[in-house]
């Protein structure tokens, strides 16, 4: 009978070490430090031209081939056609029905519709359309147009009262309001409130207001009908 005897292994000495200095993790995309090349002349500094954005008044100017505007009776038709704006709901006293923020909401839509129609001719790319329209629908541009409008006696006392009413709209903080400032944002909202108010009460007066701000109406539409569709200009 065989007897098995267990013999313990001899002890093995194990040594360990650790790094006491914290090192950043390895980043394969990190730029490598290159040794400076001797006798290398530094490149001259590059001066970039300063960009100057055109004002909203320059943007709204029509091209040089603008035709002479025609006189149109705004009572029933517009350039011989039915009105191009959607028919507003019949509200005798909008201020008693809607809030200033509601009128500014619909006024913002009407304002942008005028802006898009203004730049419809000559035909442009979609990117150019968006750039031009964005330049005039910004609150800074609306503020500049409103300041110019307030310098004369075009607005009635009622319309100026609507502007003061729309200026006091309490709105949440947005990136646009943070960029332009509360004062500019509120004045732009007051202009949109007035546009919404006139859209519901007096479309003829709204048309005159938008023309006074610099948006084209008769000349632009007649150019499109004449040059693109080959229609005779409206007399």
Angle at 57 between CA 54 and CA 61, to 5 degrees: 100
Q: Which residue has the tokens 């332009």?
A: 180
Segment-wise mean pLDDT, segments of 10 residues, the chain, 235 residues: 65 62 67 66 64 71 48 46 70 88 94 91 90 90 92 93 87 69 88 94 91 72 45 41
* pLDDT value, residue 103: 94
- Distance between CA atoms of residues 221 and 117, nearest Å: 9
Q: What is the CA radius of gyration of the chain?
A: 34
Structure-token pair, residue 190: 């007051």
* The pLDDT of residue 40: 60
Res 43: pLDDT: 66
Distance between CA atoms of residues 69 and 58, nearest Å: 19
| Alpha carbons 94 and 41: distance in angstroms, whole number | 72
The active-site residue out of 75, 108, 143, 152 is: 108
Q: Which residues contact 232 (CB under 8 A, 6 or more apart)?
A: 226
The reply to whether 152 belongs to the active site is no
Class of domain 96-229: mainly alpha
Q: Is this prediction's pTM over 0.75?
A: no
Residue 23 is predicted with a pLDDT of: 66
- Residue spans per domain, the chain: 96-229
Query: Within a 13 Å sphere around the CA of 90, how many CA atoms are in the beta-carbon half?
Result: 0
Residue pair 129/119 in contact (Cβ under 8 Å)? The answer is yes
């Amino acid at each position: 009978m065989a007897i098995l005897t267990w013999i313990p292994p001899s002890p093995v000495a194990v040594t360990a070490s650790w790094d006491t200095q914290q090192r950043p993790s390895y980043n394969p995309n990190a730029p490598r430090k290159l040794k400076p090349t001797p006798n290398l002349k530094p490149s001259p500094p590059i001066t970039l031209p300063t960009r100057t954005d055109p004002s909203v008044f320059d943007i709204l100017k029509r091209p040089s081939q603008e035709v002479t505007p025609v006189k149109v009776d705004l009572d029933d038709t517009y350039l011989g056609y039915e009105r191009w704006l959607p028919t507003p709901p019949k509200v005798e006293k909008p201020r008693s029905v809607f809030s200033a923020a509601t009128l500014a909401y619909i006024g913002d839509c009407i304002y942008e519709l005028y802006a898009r129609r203004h730049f419809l001719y000559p035909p442009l790319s979609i990117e150019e359309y968006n750039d031009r329209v964005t330049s005039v629908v910004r609150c800074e541009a609306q503020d500049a147009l409103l300041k110019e409008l307030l310098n004369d006696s075009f607005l009635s006392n009622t319309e100026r009262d609507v502007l003061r009413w729309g200026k006091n709209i309490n709105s949440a903080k947005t990136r646009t309001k943070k960029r332009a400032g509360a004062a500019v944002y509120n004045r732009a909202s007051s202009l949109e409130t007035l546009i919404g108010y006139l859209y519901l009460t007096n479309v003829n007066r709204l048309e005159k207001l938008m023309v006074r701000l610099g948006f084209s109406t008769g000349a632009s539409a007649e150019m499109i009908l004449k040059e693109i569709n080959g229609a005779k200009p409206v007399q």
